[in-house]
Structure 1
Amino acid sequence: MYNKRPDLNDLPSTAQLLRSTVIALITAGVLLVTVVMPAEYAVDPTGVGRLLGMTPMGELKATAEEASAEPQPAVAAAQPAPAAAPVVVAPAPELQQPQVAMQQHEVNLTLKPNQATEIKLEMKKGAEARFHWTANGGLLNYDAHGDPYEAPKGFYHGYGKGKQTPEQQGVLVASFDGKHGWFWRNRTTQTVKLTLRTEGDYITIEQVL
């Protein structure tokens, strides 16, 4: 049997092929702007991504990536072991763990659009710190987490996170010896004043970003 050669009239013309290519490019561009960019990078120039629920996905991804990219805490220098105590006949008094003095602070910061900051409390395992932070009428994305001393690369221990939050209060309980606190980013178009009040048995408080 012989194959029948197709009729040239049955093949698509150059104009038809060009029109199909242009339509495909336009469709791809629309999907990039309305779906891919909002879902992956929280960039939504048309507003369609937020209507489709894609922009919140991108904002959560961006918050997690920013928090994971924060600087790691400095490694504390090793302390020499204390010399052994001499043997005595009389019973030794019960050893008492050093007590951490109660601390109380208020921190006020201003975050411009897309600006971020981070504040950490140095705490012993099981220590508690009451906190209350507010965006003073604005909204902030936050990520509460902790880092142990000499934390391995890529370590992450979260206490909670959220987006477009006006304020939060509660008690932070340290899961281990180290530094524990909050990372905030202003994802709005307005400047936000952040106020953080803390009270508890933490050792130090510092702004690390």
Structure 2
Amino acid sequence: MFNSELPSQAQLPSSLQLLRSTLLAMIAAAAILVTVVLPAEYGIDPTGIGWKLNLTQMGIIKVQLAEEAAADRAKQTIDSAPPAVQALAESPAAPVTVAPATPVAAAIEPLPITELPEKKRDSLRLILGPGEPAEIKLEMKQGDTVKFRWSANGGSLNYNTHADRTKGSSHTYEKGRFQPGQQGSLTAVFDGQHGWFWRNRTDKAVTLTLEVEGDFLAMKRVI
């Protein structure tokens, strides 16, 4: 049998040392929670560190995917419900819009925007396969306004028009499911990144076309 000597009273940590170690561990855990866990899991970034590490963007996408999955489950539940319940669930609700919008035709026509030298204009076209996402952001200052139009060109897309502050919170302007397109205007509620997240929930490829014109510094594809 192996016998080891018990540590003496002097070798054991004191109550003050234990308290100090506990406080340090709590501070480290809180720092990890604020700078890593909240941005990566929920898109909440009070310090701005998560945005620099690309964790906040990942958290926003996770939240959006969870919302889409919940909506899909709710739709499946409604589809399997009795006809009376389906009729009640499908009753139209008051729409929430960014600005007065009109349906977008399949053909892309010139935007009815007055040509002004100080305004910027940009456009892009992407092909999204089944289940594929895309996110486009405009760098804008608070109060800046852009006119926009996007089209799924014969298909439909789920979308989330939102903004991310350079440091901290985010803001949702509007959401929609299985939409052929949209046009209207967007006014920045704060300095930061403003734009759209789309996902193709159909079983075929969709060509996404986006056109913007107005007060913005740059346009970039995030996803």
- Give the TM bin, normalised by the shorter chain: 0.5 to 0.7
Deviations 1:151-194 (A, max 9, x none): 2xxx3311100000001000010000101000000000010000
1:192–1:101: structure 2 CA closer, same or farther, 3 Å change rule? same
The answer to whether the aligner puts 1:159 opposite 2:206 as a matched pair is no
State the TM-score, normalized to the length of structure 1.
0.53
Moved >6 Å (runs of 4+):
none
Q: 1:160 to 1:43 in 2, by over 3 A?
A: closer
1:115 is aligned to 2:129: no
Q: What's the counterpart of residue 211 of structure 2?
A: 197
Structure 1: distance between partners of 2:69 and 2:181: 26
Number of residues of Structure 1 aligned to a counterpart in Structure 2: 123
Q: Are positions 1:138 and 2:155 aligned together?
A: yes
Partner letter of residue 214 of structure 2?
A: G
CA distance in 1 between counterparts of 2:70 and 2:206 reads 25
Equivalent position of 2:182 in the other structure: 168
Percent identity between the two aligned chains? 43
Q: Can you list the C-alpha shifts for 1:114-133, whole angstroms capped at 9, x where unaligned?
A: 00000000000000000000
Query: Counterpart of 1:144 in structure 2: which amino acid?
Result: T
Unaligned runs of 5+ in 1: 1-37, 57-99
Measure, in 2, the Cα distance between the counterparts of 1:199 and 1:122.
Answer: 13
TM-score, normalised relative to structure 2: 0.50
Opposite residue 202 of structure 2, the aligned amino acid is: T
CA deviations 1:4-26 (Å, max 9, x no partner) are: xxxxxxxxxxxxxxxxxxxxxxx
Between structure 1 and structure 2, the one with the greater Rg is 1
Query: Which one has the bigger helix percentage?
Result: 2
Alpha-carbon RMSD across the aligned residues, in angstroms, is 2.7
Task: Give the match for residue 193 of structure 2.
Answer: 179
> Any stretches of 5+ residues in structure 2 without a counterpart?
1-67, 90-116
CA distance in 1, matches of 2:139, 2:130: 29
What CA distance in whole angstroms lies between the structure 2 residues aligned with 1:51 and 1:169? Answer: 34
Q: CA deviation at 1:104?
A: 0.5
